[in-house]
Amino acid sequence: AMTTICDLPEDVLVELLSLLPARDLLRTCRAVCAQWRYVVDLTTLWKRKCQREGFYLQNLDRSVSDWKVFYILCHLKRNLIKNPCAEEKFQHWKLDNNEGDKWKIENMPGPHGREIADPKVQKYFVTSYGPCFKSQLITLQKEGYWNQLMDEKRPEIVVKDWYAARFDCGCRYELTVRLLSEDYIVLAEFRPEPVVIEQWSDAVWREISHTFQNYPPGVRYIWFQHGGQDTQFWAGWYGIRVTNSSITIGPLTM
């Protein structure tokens, strides 16, 4: 009788199938036959894919409960905020408040400013003497995070933002991040107290960070808004500076 791919030893089949994209494994290969479904569901296959793509670390062995989900989340992980560093002007941002002399983009370090730690960040958004706020709404399904994944696994959602003041003017910084349901009901929120920076500050860039865990099921959108204004009402762009915002979704480890 003619030998087929199904006659291969299991470890060889695992090695071969682990070379395929996850989408093909789950949508096509898993439906071929009972043997392939069994192999596609094997922990060893997904661990092999993690090793191949650099997601695997020895000390994760005991803390990963589902290697398939771990691989998928690592593979999807990226910054979901578009145009975080003003390289595309205001593209992808909704200007919710644009008062005073309005939002502006400046090059690092800017007047009476300092460089940020990351040399790849070359620009920032800067506010004026009236309230300036801008936002993005992230649709999770469009980004590859399907409903069942969000509801059952509830991966970590990590939010980061960077802000700084000019040396010569006081200003105010605000951040609000909301996890929203399909009907835009707020399921979880991060809204720290506004940061007020006094005149003659060190002008250093500072990071603010928050991790959403154990949030309710039903999250379909993430709404991110930041901004502020100067506190001395000077014409021009003396308010808070923001850049390098990020939202990432990653696997939960014990």
Query: Residue 1 — very low, low, confident or very high, per pLDDT cuts 50/70/90?
Result: low
Task: Give the pLDDT confidence score for residue 50 in this predicted structure.
Answer: 93
Would the pLDDT of 178 be above 90?
yes
Q: Positive or negative, the Cα torsion across 177, 182, 184, 185?
A: negative
State which CATH number among 2.60.120.260, 3.40.50.2000, 3.40.50.300, 2.60.40.730 fits the domain covering 94-249. Answer: 2.60.120.260
Task: Give the pLDDT confidence score for residue 8 in this predicted structure.
Answer: 78
Q: Does the 5-65 domain belong in CATH 3.10.520.10?
A: no
Interval 192-206: pLDDT, tens: 999 999 999 999 999
Q: What are the domain boundaries of the chain? A: 5-65, 94-249
Query: What would the mean pLDDT of 102-118 be, rounded to a whole number?
Result: 97
Would the pLDDT of 9 be above 90?
no
Identify the burial level of 34 via C-beta atoms within 10 angstroms of its C-beta, where 0-12 means exposed, 13-18 middle and 19 or more buried: exposed
Would the pLDDT of 214 be above 70?
yes
Looking at every residue in the chain, the average pLDDT score rounds to 94
Instruction: Report the predicted TM-score, pTM, of the whole model to 2 decimal places.
Output: 0.92
Query: Residue 23 — very low, low, confident or very high, per pLDDT cuts 50/70/90?
Result: confident
End-to-end Cα spacing for the chain: 49
d(Cα 208, Cα 101) in Å, to the nearest integer?
26
Task: Give the pLDDT confidence score for residue 253 in this predicted structure.
Answer: 60
Please tell me if the domain spanning 5-65 has the same topology as the one spanning 94-249: no
Cβ–Cβ < 8 Å for 7, 1: no
What percent of the chain is modeled with pLDDT above 90? 81
Query: Residue 10 — very low, low, confident or very high, per pLDDT cuts 50/70/90?
Result: confident
Cβ–Cβ < 8 Å for 189, 178: yes
What percent of the chain is modeled with pLDDT above 70? 98
